[in-house]
Amino acid sequence: MGVGKTTVGELIAERLGVFCRDTDADIVAAQGRPIADIFVEDGEEHFRALESAAVRTALAGHPGVLALGGGAILDPATRRLLAGVPVVFLDMGLREAVKRVGLDTARPLLAVNPRQKWRELMEARRPLYTEVARAVVSTEGRTPEDVADAVMDALELKTV
Ligand SMILES: Nc1ncnc2c1ncn2[C@@H]1O[C@H](COP(=O)(O)OP(=O)(O)OP(=O)(O)O)[C@@H](O)[C@H]1O
Ligand SMILES: O=C(O)C1=C[C@@H](O)[C@@H](O)[C@H](O)C1
Ligand SMILES: [Mg+2]
């Protein structure tokens, strides 16, 4: 959530000469409504089902960089699909998250008591992020360009 997936994903895609795609954006485009509305109108479970399908479709058909929603790894089937894929977990702490996005944007899971909720979600999810990740890259104190360099190094990727 605001760690830099889009910013860094685009930089890496540019370096690799591929496109960057985002499953949250795929869901919003297919549904024709924002994620917050999907949560409110149909509930988180429904959103997670849409998300699992969106990840499966993107992994099968998109050869470039793919950004996943923050909770995508909650689905065991998604985690199995990610085995063998060069996944990077972009990491940051709470203070940095507050600086970057203020935790007050359209993030339904952070609607109430965002700081505490962010901490709880991160604590619960960190083991899942690290389980699927081939590399963990800290984004703190690094510009997006520096983060992109670190990702390229960690995955041993070369600029085209
Ligand atoms: N390494 C960085 N250092 C400082 N600010 C950054 C860094 N990377 C991204 N940002 C800024 O943080 C904000 C969130 O970045 P971005 O939208 O790329 O994150 P995201 O992970 O795609 O977020 P979302 O979960 O909303 O999709 C933007 O304002 C961006 O410019
Ligand atoms: O962390 C999460 O559970 C979420 C993160 C976003 O990317 C969106 O997928 C949605 O707001 C849920
Ligand atoms: Mg994004």
Residue 117 resides in a domain: yes
Please tell me the residue having the least CA distance from ligand 1 atom 31: 7
CA of 158 to the centre of ligand 2 (A): 30
CA of 5 to the centre of ligand 3 (A): 5
Domain membership of residue 57 as a residue range: 5-154
Q: At what angle do helices 23-31 and 35-42 cross, to 10 degrees?
A: 60
Number of domains in the chain: 1
pLDDT value of position 112: 86
d(CA 78, CA 100): 27
93 lines ligand 2 (CB under 6 A): no
Amino acid code (one letter) for 26:
D
pLDDT value of position 105: 63
Please tell me the residue having the least CA distance from ligand 2 atom 3: 71
Q: pTM for the whole thing? A: 0.95
9 lines ligand 1 (CB under 6 A): no
Residue 74 resides in a domain: yes
CATH code (residue 105)? 3.40.50.300
Q: Is the ipTM of this complex over 0.90?
A: yes
Query: 90 CB contacts (<8 Å, ≥6 apart)?
Result: 3, 4, 5, 8, 137, 139, 147, 151
Question: Token pair of 93, please?
Answer: 């702490």
The angle at the Cα of 70, spanning 110 to 72, to the nearest 5 degrees, equals 125
Per-residue pLDDT of the chain (160 residues; tens, 9 = 90+): 789 999 999 999 999 999 999 999 999 999 999 999 999 999 999 999 999 999 999 999 999 999 999 999 999 999 999 999 999 999 999 999 989 888 776 788 888 888 999 999 999 999 999 999 999 999 999 999 999 999 999 999 999 9
Residue 160 resides in a domain: no
CA of 124 to the centre of ligand 3 (A): 21
